Amino acid sequence: MKFENFNILATAGYTPERVVPNSELTTMMTTSDEWIVQRTGIHQRHVVTAERTSDLCTRVAQQLLQRSGLQATDIDYIVVATMSPDYQTPAVSAQVQGNIGATKAVALDVNAACSGFVYGLQVVHRLLMGDSPKTALLIGGETLSRLVDWQDRSTAVLFGDGAGGVVLTSALAQDGAFIAADYRTMGEQGRYLTAGANGIDSPFASDPQPVLPFFKMNGRRVYNFAIKQVPASLRRALDQGHLAVTDVDYFILHQANQRIIERIAEDLTGSMAQFPVNIGQYGNTAAASEPLLLNQLVTSHVIKRGDVLALSGFGGGLTIGTMILRY
């Protein structure tokens, strides 16, 4: 017997207590609340003060266990999507595994920047397919405030910290199901969005280079990439699943920019009611953005069992990933 079910048992989300409204940023750089809102739709963001990415992800993992009724020892896999880990090693997923006592779980991280959570969905989907039922935690978590130059208004106004996640299982034949997916990487354009450059600093370096941790982004290039490639990816996945735009209840898109989401909805001729947004509250949280929004919609009873969801992440790499599933 082959287990190929793909069910979300529970969702969870966590953001740090510290909130930074746009008005506070005006004391740190030349900007205004009106300028930020008009260009991005962001009113505030949450930032860490002492917590690290593993702390946020551990909080989400604990919520997921509580909401699903599972024990940590029931978990077979832990996958964390992040571009802002605590260390190069150990992986954030390994830290979470140790923190919650998931002694049976195999742990790994996925770094596909803002596409990370949706890439992680595909990784978990493959891991769950097999001859015995399996259960996985998939978490997207970021502390992007550590990668931001807080004097650079072109990037500092965009990003926030947070984590969100899901419990996925192949054990139960409920409403949930994988429907279709589309993944693309465009590495030749990767230079348009970078963060966390390690530099070259050894006694043997012929051309020593400093550590340059901060975000560097060609905003126009990334914007054009998003408004062209996201609708194309969604259409490919819809075609694969033999679906129309109207067959999808909600499009859970990476919360990069309100204007981008509106352009994508317009391109697909979908209703904005199908494209929920929460970027105003949280900013761009990279790999955490889709699971944070998903959890918000599930816990507020907007999303219901049997709904068809299209999740799409896009960003650094440059990468794009789309998965359509039944919740």
Kindly report the CATH number assigned to the domain that includes residue 114.
3.40.47.10
Q: Which residues contact 263 (CB under 8 A, 6 or more apart)?
A: 227
C-alpha to C-alpha distances, 203 to 88, 200, 208, 210, 213, nearest whole angstrom = 21, 10, 9, 13, 21
Rg (C-alpha) for the chain, rounded Å, is 19
Active site residue 57: no
Choose the catalytic residue: 22, 254, 257, 295. Answer: 254
197 and 292, same domain (yes or no): yes
Q: How many CB atoms lie within 10 A of CB 40?
A: 20
140 and 156, same domain (yes or no): yes
What's the rounded Cα separation, in Å, for the pair 39 and 288?
21
The enclosing H or E element of 60 equals helix 53-68
Question: Per the structure, how many domains does the chain have?
Answer: 2
Contact 326, 177 (CB under 8 A): yes
195 and 320, same domain (yes or no): yes
224 and 198, same domain (yes or no): yes
72 and 203, same domain (yes or no): no
pTM for the full model?
A: 0.95
Choose the catalytic residue: 7, 111, 257, 284. Answer: 284
171, 186, 202 - which closes a domain:
171
Q: Which residues contact 101 (CB under 8 A, 6 or more apart)?
A: 72, 73
184 and 261, same domain (yes or no): yes
What is 104-129 written as a DSSP string? T-EEEEE--GGGHHHHHHHHHHHHH-
171, 201, 221 - which closes a domain:
171
Give the residue from 218, 159, 156 showing the smallest Cα distance to 193.
Answer: 218
126 and 261, same domain (yes or no): no
* Residue given tokens 């970078």 in the structure block: 194
| DSSP SS3 for 274 | helix
What's the rounded Cα separation, in Å, for the pair 59 and 51?
11
What's the rounded Cα separation, in Å, for the pair 13 and 292?
5
Q: Cis omega before residue 90 (within 30°)?
A: yes
In this prediction, residue 217 carries a pLDDT of 86
What's the rounded Cα separation, in Å, for the pair 165 and 149?
28
Q: Which domain holds residue 271?
A: 178-326
Give the residue from 31, 12, 11 showing the smallest Cα distance to 22.
Answer: 31
48 and 155, same domain (yes or no): yes
127, 154, 171 - which closes a domain:
171
In this prediction, residue 201 carries a pLDDT of 76
Choose the catalytic residue: 114, 125, 257, 295. Answer: 114
13 and 60, same domain (yes or no): yes
Contact 98, 299 (CB under 8 A): no
Per residue of the chain (327 residues), give pLDDT as tens.
456 678 999 999 999 999 999 999 999 888 889 989 999 999 999 999 999 999 999 999 999 999 999 999 999 999 999 999 999 999 999 999 999 999 999 999 999 999 999 999 999 999 998 778 899 999 999 999 999 999 888 889 999 999 999 999 987 666 788 999 999 999 999 998 888 888 777 778 777 777 778 888 898 999 999 999 999 999 999 999 999 999 999 999 999 999 999 999 999 998 899 999 999 999 999 999 999 999 999 999 999 999 999 999 999 999 999 999 999
98 and 128, same domain (yes or no): yes
Active site residue 284: yes
163 and 200, same domain (yes or no): no
256 and 125, same domain (yes or no): no
